Amino acid sequence: MSSELRYTANTQLEHLHARYTGTGHADLTKYDWLTHQHRDTLSSIVGHPTLTSYLAIADGESIGRVKFEMTERMLQPCGPPPRKDED
Protein backbone atom coordinates (compact mmCIF):
# COMPACT_ATOMS: atom_id res chain seq x y z
CA MET A 1 0.00 0.00 0.00
CA SER A 2 2.75 2.48 0.87
CA SER A 3 4.54 1.82 -2.43
CA GLU A 4 1.35 2.76 -4.30
CA LEU A 5 1.06 5.94 -2.26
CA ARG A 6 4.70 6.81 -2.91
CA TYR A 7 4.27 6.20 -6.64
CA THR A 8 1.14 8.37 -6.71
CA ALA A 9 2.84 11.16 -4.76
CA ASN A 10 5.85 11.13 -7.09
CA THR A 11 3.70 11.26 -10.22
CA GLN A 12 1.67 14.13 -8.78
CA LEU A 13 4.86 16.00 -7.93
CA GLU A 14 6.24 15.43 -11.42
CA HIS A 15 2.98 16.70 -12.88
CA LEU A 16 3.20 19.87 -10.77
CA HIS A 17 6.79 20.48 -11.82
CA ALA A 18 5.87 20.05 -15.48
CA ARG A 19 2.85 22.34 -15.20
CA TYR A 20 4.29 25.07 -12.98
CA THR A 21 7.92 25.91 -13.65
CA GLY A 22 8.38 27.88 -10.43
CA THR A 23 7.58 25.00 -8.06
CA GLY A 24 11.25 24.18 -7.72
CA HIS A 25 13.20 21.00 -7.18
CA ALA A 26 15.74 19.58 -4.74
CA ASP A 27 18.71 21.41 -6.30
CA LEU A 28 17.08 24.85 -6.36
CA THR A 29 19.12 27.51 -4.57
CA LYS A 30 17.71 30.23 -2.37
CA TYR A 31 18.63 32.84 -4.97
CA ASP A 32 16.80 30.97 -7.74
CA TRP A 33 13.71 30.52 -5.57
CA LEU A 34 13.64 34.22 -4.64
CA THR A 35 14.13 35.19 -8.28
CA HIS A 36 11.15 33.06 -9.31
CA GLN A 37 9.00 34.61 -6.56
CA HIS A 38 9.92 38.18 -7.49
CA ARG A 39 9.35 37.59 -11.21
CA ASP A 40 5.98 35.97 -10.53
CA THR A 41 4.94 38.93 -8.40
CA LEU A 42 6.12 41.51 -10.93
CA SER A 43 4.45 39.75 -13.86
CA SER A 44 1.22 39.51 -11.88
CA ILE A 45 1.30 43.26 -11.20
CA VAL A 46 1.95 44.04 -14.87
CA GLY A 47 -0.74 41.58 -15.98
CA HIS A 48 -3.48 42.99 -13.76
CA PRO A 49 -4.42 46.52 -14.89
CA THR A 50 -6.02 47.45 -11.57
CA LEU A 51 -2.82 46.67 -9.65
CA THR A 52 -0.78 48.63 -12.16
CA SER A 53 -3.16 51.60 -11.85
CA TYR A 54 -3.00 51.41 -8.05
CA LEU A 55 0.80 51.50 -8.07
CA ALA A 56 0.84 54.29 -10.65
CA ILE A 57 -1.42 56.45 -8.48
CA ALA A 58 0.54 55.64 -5.31
CA ASP A 59 3.87 56.49 -6.95
CA GLY A 60 2.57 59.48 -8.91
CA GLU A 61 3.79 57.96 -12.18
CA SER A 62 2.07 57.09 -15.43
CA ILE A 63 0.78 53.56 -15.97
CA GLY A 64 3.21 53.04 -18.86
CA ARG A 65 6.16 54.11 -16.69
CA VAL A 66 5.14 51.67 -13.94
CA LYS A 67 4.80 48.82 -16.45
CA PHE A 68 8.18 49.67 -17.94
CA GLU A 69 9.90 49.78 -14.55
CA MET A 70 8.32 46.47 -13.48
CA THR A 71 9.36 44.83 -16.73
CA GLU A 72 12.91 46.15 -16.35
CA ARG A 73 13.04 44.89 -12.78
CA MET A 74 12.19 41.37 -13.99
CA LEU A 75 15.65 41.04 -15.58
CA GLN A 76 17.50 40.74 -12.27
CA PRO A 77 14.92 41.16 -9.50
CA CYS A 78 17.31 40.09 -6.72
CA GLY A 79 20.50 41.60 -8.05
CA PRO A 80 23.35 39.75 -9.74
CA PRO A 81 23.58 36.03 -9.03
CA PRO A 82 25.95 34.93 -6.27
CA ARG A 83 29.30 33.44 -7.17
CA LYS A 84 29.45 29.67 -7.51
CA ASP A 85 31.97 27.91 -5.28
CA GLU A 86 34.43 25.84 -7.29
CA ASP A 87 35.25 22.86 -5.08
Tens digits of per-residue pLDDT, 57-73?
999 999 999 999 999 99
d(CA 53, CA 78): 24
- Give pLDDT, residue 51: 95
Distance from the first to the final alpha carbon of the chain: 42
Tens digits of per-residue pLDDT, 32-51?
888 989 999 999 999 999 99
Domain boundaries, the chain: 29-74
Cα→Cα distances 79→10, 20, 24, 30, 76, Å: 34, 24, 20, 13, 5
